[in-house]
Structure 1
């Protein structure tokens, strides 16, 4: 009789420990209830709690609930299970509830709120290392076809099978090139047994997308193109959010932009702004606004030539590294030409050039272009055709998974990019 296959973490106590409900309840106790109990042990369960206790508990619960939901949604995206995104989520959630309490003039215990905030950070750090040890995907690769391309992917612990049998080993998933001519009947029976044992079987392209955040574009069938059509509802919601955020940020950004405009003017001759026609939503041209970062009397091509381009001014090196040159594009967001998050718009000259070498390049115009995007925070700067092919795979992933949660993840990654200068030229 064949050895019964078992999925990883399928035992009853493993399912309990890793279940969302158990983690939520345990987190509520450690982050919300224990800090309050430590402060108010004698009156915590009193029939008539004072308003300050009630408002503090409600604030901590709201912040914890927001963190729990956001992190659970973000963790399904590639490269999202990192402490650098979890801690900012916690900080922003607690800052938001403090702002609400202050705006509504509600009394609360700062001591208990701070204890809960610190407990949430400790919980996140411990949870991150536990998850990294026990929850990194463990996948079995069927040793034929293009499934072997995932062998060295850092996003998963991959083991190449030598025969169609798992033995006593347990995996999260089985990955195979289901289109390979070398997939024998014996291996197909093996995949069927895995499915019957509730072990997911993925075609290599599906797993590659989950691990890399890119959608292959060499061959797009009609049904795949249809699956890349973004949600019309979220497109409308996203436009409302863009407009609201732009109006809130504009007063603060005006002073910052004024200071950099003066610095640019004093540093070199020429206009403060660089204005160029780009292709945007549905391929319609528009004028994009940026701070000028290059000398006006030096000719070049339509893209930055290497990391030490002599055309870049002294101020330009600073504003390009930390993306300050992009700030005037808030005008494009207000006008509706752009969004805060989306594929970066390209000039018509570059678009025509890419169109000849990269299939389906114009499909990226199905959503509004953005100041920052999935390709920018994962790949950085790209100009040559090969780099653009990879960038387009990131853009297609963004369009396919077009959602508020992916935009939030890109926002966190953008903050990291701004602080570190990653990918700038």
Structure 2
């Protein structure tokens, strides 16, 4: 509700400012437009609450707010109320952004309240992913106050537990596999139970996977004037401090397990690169810590994107020796190659850098989640988290 209230207040203030700046004094028309636009976030919120479990809260929030806003503008036009289309455009942007944000928060809250889990063998192992939830110990357990019941699909689809499942259906309690709940809440998969057969993409995912390449190339071309200038400045600085070459090339594991040459600005002194980077690493050239912190050293990878070897967002490509070492511990690590690697990714913004093989295995849970849940919504979330990480320095090195 708070995002809707904030959206209504901001829209009212912005529209009033635009009209006052245009020396408009027909306050009855201005008030009518403000009322119409201010109701949009509340109507959109009312529609969005009807979606019990939304797999794409950001995209759905954008679509619903646009639809409701179109209705509001149509009503204003029907009553022949003179409006400022500049003001309406700014208000629409505010409504869309805050409605999408509010819907994302709403879905996260809905995924963490009034939930119980039916006891099953192995619950003690899974309790870390189910912490804070009430447990129903028997098929006769009470469902009072429960909106969602988590089950183990193997154990609970049986005659013993059918009374509890039947009561859940009759009382309108949603039944959900506990693994799916853990995925949604923590943004990672259970690597041990994961199988490549679990990757069944919806039509929207298939369409987006094809459009993703267009978005990547468009972003690179549109930002080229800025990135070229910034790259020239960084390259000249590194050359002045430690000579050439200023570009560091490393063989990384790419799509389909193929190797490719990944480019970065060299931020360490010559002949000192190799291995994981430690905190306060003395190999880093003075002044290059800021370059690494704000991910400017990754700019040459825009060339990798144009060559079709990388994407803006995807599992971070690792060195060949890291991939081989990790696959010896966890063979499913090779599944990371099912999509194009990215400059940033869900594992990067969720768990930070990995310095050991064990940490690489733990990050695999996040990479597999990204591959399974590939969508515009998730990529947008990764982008926002990356910006936050860069600005706040979280996980930066």
Establish whether TM, by shorter chain, passes 0.5.
yes
Cα distance in 1 between the residues matched to 2:211 and 2:190: 28
After superposition, where does 1:103-182 map in structure 2 within 5 Å? Answer: 108=84, 136-147=112-123, 158-164=133-139, 167=142, 169-180=144-155
Match of 1:262 in 2: 236
Across the two proteins, how many residue pairs are aligned to each other?
366
How far residue 165 of structure 1 moved from its aligned partner, in angstroms, is: 5.0
Match of 1:273 in 2: 247
After superposition, where does 1:236-385 map in structure 2 within 5 Å? Answer: 236-298=210-272, 300-301=274-275, 303-304=276-277, 306-385=278-357
After superposition, where does 1:393-404 map in structure 2 within 5 Å? Answer: 393-404=365-376
How far residue 233 of structure 1 moved from its aligned partner, in angstroms, is: 3.4
Residues 1:206 and 2:180 aligned together = yes
How far residue 362 of structure 1 moved from its aligned partner, in angstroms, is: 1.7
Residues 41 and 95 in structure 2, CA contact (< 8 A), matched pair in contact too? no
Residues 111 and 181 in structure 2, CA contact (< 8 A), matched pair in contact too? no
Residues 1:42 and 2:16 aligned together = no
Residues 272 and 283 in structure 2, CA contact (< 8 A), matched pair in contact too? yes
How far residue 36 of structure 1 moved from its aligned partner, in angstroms, is: 6.0
Cα distance in 2 between the residues matched to 1:422 and 1:275: 26
Residues 144 and 177 in structure 1, CA contact (< 8 A), matched pair in contact too? yes
Q: Which runs of 5+ in 1 are unaligned?
A: 1-16, 18-22, 47-52, 91-106
Residues 7 and 95 in structure 2, CA contact (< 8 A), matched pair in contact too? no
Residues 282 and 365 in structure 1, CA contact (< 8 A), matched pair in contact too? yes
Q: Secondary structure at 1:214's aligned position in 2?
A: coil
Measured against aligned partners, the alpha-carbon deviations of 1:354-403 in whole angstroms (never above 9, x if no partner) come to 22111222221121111011111111101322211121111111111112
Match of 1:223 in 2: 197
Match of 1:101 in 2: none
Cα distance in 2 between the residues matched to 1:259 and 1:67: 47
How far residue 122 of structure 1 moved from its aligned partner, in angstroms, is: 8.5
Please, what is the CA RMSD of the aligned residues?
4.8
Cα distance in 2 between the residues matched to 1:231 and 1:128: 19
How far residue 186 of structure 1 moved from its aligned partner, in angstroms, is: 4.9
How far residue 144 of structure 1 moved from its aligned partner, in angstroms, is: 3.6
After superposition, where does 1:380-391 map in structure 2 within 5 Å? Answer: 380-391=352-363
Cα distance in 1 between the residues matched to 2:47 and 2:386: 21
Identify which range, 230-239 or 119-128, moves more after superposition: 119-128
Q: 1:70 to 1:328 in 2, by over 3 A?
A: farther
Residues 281 and 366 in structure 1, CA contact (< 8 A), matched pair in contact too? yes
Residues 147 and 177 in structure 1, CA contact (< 8 A), matched pair in contact too? no
Q: 1:184 to 1:328 in 2, by over 3 A?
A: same
Cα distance in 2 between the residues matched to 1:292 and 1:71: 50
Cα distance in 1 between the residues matched to 2:100 and 2:204: 33
How far residue 157 of structure 1 moved from its aligned partner, in angstroms, is: 5.5
Measured against aligned partners, the alpha-carbon deviations of 1:83-124 in whole angstroms (never above 9, x if no partner) come to xxx9xxx9xxxxxxxxxxxxxxxx947677667777888889
Q: Secondary structure at 1:340's aligned position in 2?
A: strand
Cα distance in 2 between the residues matched to 1:131 and 1:349: 40
Q: 1:138 to 1:255 in 2, by over 3 A?
A: same
Match of 2:384 in 1: 412
Q: 1:135 to 1:174 in 2, by over 3 A?
A: closer
Cα distance in 1 between the residues matched to 2:203 and 2:149: 29
Residues 314 and 342 in structure 2, CA contact (< 8 A), matched pair in contact too? yes
How far residue 191 of structure 1 moved from its aligned partner, in angstroms, is: 2.6
Q: Which runs of 5+ in 2 are unaligned?
A: 20-25, 66-82
Q: 1:177 to 1:285 in 2, by over 3 A?
A: same
How far residue 31 of structure 1 moved from its aligned partner, in angstroms, is: 7.2
